[in-house]
């Protein structure tokens, strides 16, 4: 058989063999392989994109959370500040009120004492007057018996009603 | 260590050579290297080895068709001397016989067509079966598992498939590459597996046979020209930017160019694979010519080395054939030709 002269038999079989192989492989191998390769590439692509998106979303969420937290902190500080102020004011007010009330009460007490004192003095005076009248009365009655005794009695009486 | 050993054996063999030169007779030379061409060429039987006087061969069918005798079937062993296994005119069947050079003749001079399952055809069937098995079992993985990661044969073939699709088809053909990927894949794997299996001991030189490379080149030629678009044909028959008188020269050149492209494909693969086989066998033949152990060591080392090179060549030639096919297709389907 010749080296550089193609033989008809081999060409015939090669054509049949190769074309049959080509047909079978295209139909049963290359098409499913290539399509599933493409599908896989697409799915990897989309998965990567989705991951990227999820990452961006996470970052967004985190930033938002941070912002919310910051806002909450600010608000808390504000609330604390106003509460402090309010309590301080209340304490101050209460103090003022207590002081003025105390002053008023002292004032009133003083007035009452003064009144009581006056009343007591008046009472005492009245009593003294009464006693004096009684004593005078008794003295007057005793005087009838003895002057000396009368006098002694009056003195004693007078001594008794010492003005406090 | 290895280098020293190599140098030493070369020196030693050169030394022995001077003594062994007169030992071989001039008449034996033909016999000693004859197996090289016998391996390179096609054959009606598959000869594996000769152990002493026993020929280990696989007889193959001989199928012949002629208009007057119709279709006839024989076995290659029908045409041989049962003792020596030699072909010859004396062992013919009816009007057919195979001569010493493995040419089939018809004694009465009539015409016939030879459809024999020769050694290369048998090899072709083997390659088709191996390749079909490999690719189909890979495909079954994809059918079963869908888009999951490849395993087994699929994971071995997948990088190659992606390489052919992305690096060869997409880059050379452009946006319309998808239609041609299956052909390019089949071409690549057929040539590659054919080259590799051809390197096995006892295998036939399938991809180094001109009939095989010619068939592949013709298929490429058909695919390129069937898919040629308007611009491609305009470029051939009315090359733009060329004055009319010059077209008389350019157009025939362009038309010849259509045929030289596949011709180059055919010759390149044929020569690369055949030359590789010849070189390897030549180194093996040295052992029989010089009949020296030292030469045996050297040629074994060289044959090992050349086999490794041939593994590379097998892949490169498959790549080059596929790449050029893709480039020719790319030139035929491109929308914007570069002038």
B210-252, pLDDT tens digit by residue? 999 999 999 999 999 999 998 899 888 888 888 888 888 889 9
Which has more confidence, B220 or B92? B220
Decide if pLDDT at A26 tops 70.
Answer: yes
pLDDT value at position A124? 82
Residues of B in contact with A9 (CB under 8 A): 63, 113-116, 118, 121
pLDDT value at position B19? 44
| Among the ranges given (A84-93, A115-124, B207-216, B330-339), the one the predictor scored with the smallest mean pLDDT | B330-339
pLDDT value at position B11? 57
pLDDT value at position B120? 92
Residue with tokens 């041609």: B180
Whole-number Å distance between alpha carbons of B171 and B99: 50
Q: Inter-chain contact A9–B121, Cβ cutoff 8 Å? A: yes
Calculate the alpha carbon distances from B309 to B191, B265, B273, B279, B313 in Å: 16, 21, 11, 11, 6
pLDDT value at position B166? 94
Query: In chain A, which among 94-133 make CB contacts under 8 A with chain B?
Result: none
Three-state SS at B102: coil
Which DSSP string do the residues of B231-256 spell out, in sequence order? Answer: HHHHHHHS-TT--HHHHHHHHHHHHH
Residues of A in contact with B183 (CB under 8 A): 22, 26
CB of A30 less than 8 A from some CB of B: yes
Of B251, B267, B272, B274, nearest to B315 by C-alpha is: B272
Q: Inter-chain contact A24–B132, Cβ cutoff 8 Å? A: yes
B309: its two tokens: 């090179």
Which has more confidence, B164 or B54? B164
- Mean pLDDT of all residues belonging to chain B: 86
Whole-number Å distance between alpha carbons of B125 and B115: 14
Of B28, B206, B42, nearest to B130 by C-alpha is: B206
A70: its two tokens: 């910051």
Whole-number Å distance between alpha carbons of A100 and A88: 18
| Domain ranges, ordered by start, for chain A | 13-160
Task: Read off the pLDDT band of A144 (50, 70, 90).
Answer: low
Query: In chain B, which among 199-258 make CB contacts under 8 A with chain A?
Result: 209-212, 214-216, 219
CB of A16 less than 8 A from some CB of B: no
Which has more confidence, B263 or A1? B263
Interface test with A, best of B128, B163, B170, B213 (most A CBs within 10 A): B128
User: Which among B116, B139, B211 has CB closest to A28?
Assistant: B139
Which has more confidence, B216 or A138? B216
pLDDT value at position B7? 60
Task: Tell me what the mean pLDDT of segment B76-99 comes to.
Answer: 83
pLDDT value at position B121? 94
Task: Read off the pLDDT band of B83 (50, 70, 90).
Answer: confident
Task: Tell me what the mean pLDDT of segment A92-105 comes to.
Answer: 93
User: Which among B131, B158, B212 has CB closest to A21?
Assistant: B131
User: Which helix (DSSP H) or strand (DSSP E) does residue B55 occupy?
Assistant: strand B54-59
pLDDT value at position A119? 87
Share of chain A above pLDDT 90, in %: 59
CB of B325 less than 8 A from some CB of A: no
Which has more confidence, A135 or B315? B315
B46: its two tokens: 């598959």
pLDDT value at position B25? 40
Interface test with B, best of A6, A18, A29 (most B CBs within 10 A): A29
Decide if pLDDT at B22 tops 50.
Answer: no
| Among the ranges given (A19-33, B2-16, B163-177, B191-205), the one the predictor scored with the smallest mean pLDDT | B2-16
- Mean pLDDT of all residues belonging to chain A: 88
User: Which helix (DSSP H) or strand (DSSP E) does residue B35 occupy?
Assistant: helix B29-40
Contact (CB, 8 A) for B333 and B277? no
Decide if pLDDT at A13 tops 70.
Answer: yes
CB of A38 less than 8 A from some CB of B: no
A72: its two tokens: 């909450």
pLDDT value at position B29? 47
Return the half-sphere exposure (C-beta side, CA atoms, 13 A cut-off) of residue B297. 14
Distance to chain B for A46, nearest Cα, Å: 13
The distance in angstroms from the start CA to the end CA of chain A is: 167
Decide if pLDDT at A48 tops 90.
Answer: yes
Task: Read off the pLDDT band of A142 (50, 70, 90).
Answer: low
B27-72, pLDDT tens digit by residue? 444 567 788 888 888 888 898 888 877 888 888 999 999 888 889 8
């Amino acid at each position: 058989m010749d080296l550089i002269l193609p033989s008809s038999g081999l060409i015939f079989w090669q054509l049949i063999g190769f074309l049959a192989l080509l047909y079978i492989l295209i139909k049963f191998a290359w098409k499913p392989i290539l399509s599933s390769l493409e599908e896989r590439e697409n799915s990897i692509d989309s998965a990567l994109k989705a991951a990227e998106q999820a990452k961006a979303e996470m970052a967004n969420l985190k930033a938002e959370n941070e912002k919310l937290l910051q806002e909450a902190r600010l608000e808390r500080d504000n609330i604390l500040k106003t509460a402090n102020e309010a309590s301080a004011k209340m304490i101050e007010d209460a103090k003022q009120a207590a002081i003025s009330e105390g002053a008023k009460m002292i004032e009133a007490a003083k007035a009452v004492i003064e009144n009581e004192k006056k009343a007591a003095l008046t009472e005492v005076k009245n009593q003294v007057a009464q006693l004096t009248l009684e004593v005078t009365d008794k003295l007057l009655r005793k005087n009838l018996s003895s002057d000396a005794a009368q006098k002694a009695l009056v003195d004693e009486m007078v001594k008794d009603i010492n003005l406090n | 260590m290895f280098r020293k050993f190599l140098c030493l054996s070369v020196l030693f063999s050169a030394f022995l050579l001077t003594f062994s030169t007169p030992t071989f007779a001039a008449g034996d030379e033909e016999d000693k290297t004859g197996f090289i061409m016998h391996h390179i060429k096609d054959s009606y039987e598959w000869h594996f080895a000769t152990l002493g006087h026993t020929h280990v061969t696989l007889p193959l069918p001989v199928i012949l068709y002629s208009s007057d005798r119709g279709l006839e079937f024989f076995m290659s062993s029908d045409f041989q001397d049962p003792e020596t296994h030699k072909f010859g005119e004396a062992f013919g069947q009816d009007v057919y016989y195979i001569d010493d050079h493995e040419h089939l003749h018809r004694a009465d001079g009539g015409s016939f067509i030879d459809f024999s399952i020769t050694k290369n055809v048998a090899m072709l069937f083997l390659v088709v079966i191996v390749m079909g098995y490999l690719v189909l079992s890979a495909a079954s993985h994809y059918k079963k598992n869908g888009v999951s990661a490849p395993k087994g044969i699929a994971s071995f073939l997948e990088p190659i498939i992606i390489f052919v699709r992305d690096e060869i088809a997409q880059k050379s053909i452009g946006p319309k590459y998808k239609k041609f990927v299956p052909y390019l894949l089949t071409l690549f794997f057929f040539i590659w597996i054919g080259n590799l299996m051809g390197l096995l001991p006892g295998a036939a030189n399938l991809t180094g046979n001109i009939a095989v490379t010619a068939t592949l080149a013709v298929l490429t030629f058909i695919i390129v020209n069937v898919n040629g678009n308007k611009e491609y044909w305009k470029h051939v028959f009315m090359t733009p930017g060329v004055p009319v008188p010059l077209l008389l020269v350019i157009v025939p050149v362009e038309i010849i160019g259509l045929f030289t492209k596949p011709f180059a494909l055919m010759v390149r693969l044929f020569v690369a694979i055949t030359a590789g086989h010849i070189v390897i066998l030549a180194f093996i033949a040295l052992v029989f010519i010089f009949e020296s152990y030292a030469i045996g060591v050297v040629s074994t080392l060289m044959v090992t080395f050349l086999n490794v090179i041939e593994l590379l060549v097998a892949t490169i030639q498959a790549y080059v054939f596929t790449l050029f096919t893709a480039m020719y297709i790319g030139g035929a389907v491109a929308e914007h030709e570069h002038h």
